[in-house]
Amino acid sequence: MVVMGRIAAPYGIKGWVKIQSFTEAADSLLDFPVWWLGREGEWREAHVIEAFLHGKTIVANIDASPDRNVAERLKGLQIAVPRSSLPAAGENEYYWSDLIGLKVVNLDGVELGSVGDIIETGANDVLEVKGESTHLIPFVGKVVLDVDLENSVIRVDWGADY
């Protein structure tokens, strides 16, 4: 499963939910008629009855939420889709979920930690690398030299003391 967003809040009184999308284009989640709700390892299928973009969020009516009380209990659940339903990433493109947890090593062979999160800044994405200290590393070609998904390592030109 690839996490694409989360249920942020109930919306209205009829069980609709407000969705925070984690995708590059906020409306990408609208391409999927079935979402999986839950957390890692515990997913349940939810069919999208109706959904639309509302500002920077998505508002959705899903069959898993018949009323506001249920919608309130769904708050905070992640929304995922099966990896098989996503298009293959292009050359030098990565799904964020593929980068989370990868070990980050600099040119001196020092392990800086592992990717805990990715921050979207507008100009470029930033890897939040958690180790002995937290490093915020811009995800740009001059800094990120190699992403080796097979060996779960990202090689960077970044000092351990930055």
Same domain, 79 and 108: no
Range in 2-6, 63-67, 143-147, 150-154 the model is least confident about: 2-6
Question: Where in the sequence is the domain holding 118, given as residue range(s)?
Answer: 96-156
Q: Which of 85, 109, 131 is the last residue of a domain?
A: 85
**Residue 161 lies inside a defined structural domain of this protein:** no
44 pLDDT more than 90: yes
In a 3-state reduction of DSSP, which class is residue 97?
Answer: helix
Q: Which of 85, 107, 139 is the last residue of a domain?
A: 85
Taking only the tens place, the pLDDT of each residue in 109-118 is 999 999 998 8
**Residue 91 lies inside a defined structural domain of this protein:** no
Range in 21-30, 51-60, 135-144 the model is least confident about: 21-30
What distance in Å separates the CA atoms of residue 97 and residue 91, rounded to the nearest whole number? 16
In a 3-state reduction of DSSP, which class is residue 30?
Answer: helix
Same domain, 15 and 76: yes
Same domain, 67 and 117: no
Cβ–Cβ < 8 Å for 33, 47: yes
Q: Beta strand 153-156 with 103-106: parallel, antiparallel or unpaired? A: parallel
Cβ–Cβ < 8 Å for 106, 66: no
Total domains in the fold of the chain: 2
Q: Per the confidence metrics, is the pTM higher than 0.75?
A: no
Same domain, 70 and 102: no
